[in-house]
Structure 1
Amino acid sequence: MRYRIIVIGFICFSLLPSFSFSQKSNVEIKVAIYDSVISLFAEEVKKSLEYSWEENGTKYEIIPIVIGRNEVIGKGKNSLSIENFDVFIVPGSARPYLDAYDLRWRKSVKNFVENGGGYIGICGGANLASMGFQERLSVNSVINLSILKIANVYVNDQQMEEWQYLWKSNWQYGLPPINVYIQKAKNPIFRGFYDSYRNIRYGGGPGMYPANSDDEKCGEVIPLAIYAEEPMEVAPLHFWRWRGEWEIAANVTTDIKGQYAAIATTYGKGRIVLFSPHPEKKTFFGGHVEEFPVRPHAGPFTWFIYNWSDGIPSEESYNWWMLRRSVAWVAHSPLPPATNLSVFVEDLKEGMYFDGREIMCIKRKLVIGGSRIKARAIGGEGINIYIDELLKDSIYGNSYSGFLSIKKGKHIVKIETWKEGEKASYSFEVIGI
């Protein structure tokens, strides 16, 4: 890992209620998050990793940056290299399968890990790192052509079985909660949770099991979590057919219970963590699956999707500690505490605003004059508001409401919360016009 050390000769104490680390040095852990066709996937991971913690007088700060295909194959100032990044994360998405058909893409990622970079794969990112699908000719045989083969596991993730929990999901309203069992392991990421169950969101990811690669660069596979439930039993899905009305044609079956839901391993000098389910997403306690046609009155000219309904939602940051500790471990850093410290913006979302009032729904944050902003902290002692790194407001408590004056041009707004030894933030771009 590359340590960027900043020696602090003195500490200034502000009269405003903001928290300062009493560290002698800072260590930045730079994380590249792979972009997707659906930018939300990368942004969810990025949001979970805007975080820092203190250990033995040193502040460790995760710096997440979203990169794309060109950066992975060596283009641009943020190209994927151990000089620029400590960790590479591939979230759940089909996009990396396509990009990885490019030999330059695969070589770049493998070289990064082999030379000491960390790799974290979620759902599709776990499939990509594996030895592939151990099955006969199928759609997955095409995916096998693009896999990295840096983790000595096979993946059980069939298109007509587990993948249906992705294909049929009503976006964020689908994805059922599944319990995984955390067994005692030599790896420290889940220390403090051994011999317990954890609820985590499932989106069609693989059950992983040992492979038989003879690549000497592949290290020992350490199971971190085991699927304790079968998706088809928690959230029964079906294939449907039209016979004058809709009827069930067959059940969607899965067979991943008892297989690995998360593993840690190594490739060359690099460390790897793979998650089949989604620690970056909030989960639900209780609830049930509901299947329905997309266009109820279109007869046979539609298809079925599903929601997970009537569940009690967790905090969005319920499982973020898994990703934060995984980043620290693959970056050869001390592990942070397993907390859900986080901060969220509940107002000033995408749109055009005029003196605090939204006047148009667009995909960017455009502000004329200024805007009202609301923020909420989880587990923190207070909230700080920054514009372009300048502190604009600060309060004790977990709820903030105020008005921000935004000058013309591009600005970075950062909302930050803290508790002793930890900080979490959320940053976003605002354009003043």
Structure 2
Amino acid sequence: MIRLIKKGLMFGNLVHISSPALVERYNRALQHLAGKTTALTDFHIDISGYSPEVGIELEDELYLNPNGVNRQFILLTTEQKRAPLLNVKFSTSRDILREFIEMNEAQLFALTATDAVAGELVNSVIKLTTPRDLLNLRKIEIEADTAGGTLRKAQQLAGMVERFKTEEDAWFDDVLIAKMIETAKETGDVTRNPVRLRHTAFEQRNFWTAHFGGLYLFPDLNHPAVICMGDRPDDMPIKYVFDPSQRNQIAKFLGLNGLVETIIEARGVNSAAILQQKMDFLTVDAATDAGVDLTGLDRGDMRRLARNHSDRLPDAYHGLAQLLRWAKDGGPWPRITSDHPAYFYTLRATNTPNRDLVNMLLAELAPLDPRQVFICHKELFYRTYATWPEAKKAYVADFLAREYQVDKAGARAALFGHEPDMSGNDRISEDIIARVGPWGAVGRS
């Protein structure tokens, strides 16, 4: 993993904490949340305030996420909104935290100027005992306050101010006035600058969880289903529960809900280039198994590798090659059904609220495309990366650093964007797509 860290592909964009004041605030918040402190004076934190260095020190990578259900967080700066979320257990957690920070940025900026803000993503489940419990996680509420209780005290002060203004004898209540003055020293003038956080409840509809071997839950669709990557649960109150071996059923589910489109259909992408790169990754995987040196490969080298190791290339490669020939050279229209190993490599999510979740699922169904896995499902990428031979680790890390890391937004837009393409290049005509559909039997016109 050191290679990934050096290239900024792991633990990238974390917030560096080194000032004694911030470390002291972090420890007060950590003591408040978990009853622990760190002896480190220099560490990095993610959007939730989790630090991999502190996790190692405490020998607990879930020190801010007990039971992996109710994620706790420590905010030292609003700049954490740009950081990733590590040790992800739910696909929605980072989006919720980022939206919370952005909607309360001015208030959080003021609060974190003098203290850390500590809180928790709270739901009705304390611990998951069965997969069925996951369907109870429909609403996530954020509870937050400074380690010193500024918001709680501000609320108390607001109540005291109201009493002072409305109760007949409050002007003569020396105890009340003294309490107001003392509390105001900590909270400031809450009448002119009310201290409160808004929008602290979030709906969690369709989501992925790492629990129970990995589950994709789509209860909030016209045709709901659960897709499990581990053991198949038998107690889910949803009629359709699929595992990766049920390719036809998963494909039908994605199609019925309008969740996917083929790369050939997609607007605004160079479909031929995407297909070629996926084929290159499949070639690299086959060449790695043969012990080939992958250093400094160019386009000619990749073609030679494919020829020399054609007997090792998976069926998915040959399906993508047929599609590429159709797209570029007018070859016969390939009939690639969901049974074909290439099928899920040819898809991307349509532009729906579930786009990121569907691309995450597709990455898991097409695991030999490390670029998509890295972009869409980092937990899976790091897990599988650790199992690769050194040659493949070096090739993929160099590729991602060269082709993705330098322009993340551009790479994402090129692969998954849904903006209309104005160039007219590398686009299959709309009338052909309309005639053949995603995978029709009509030949190329």
TM-score by length of 1: 0.26
Structure index of larger Rg: 2
Bigger proportion of residues as helix? 2
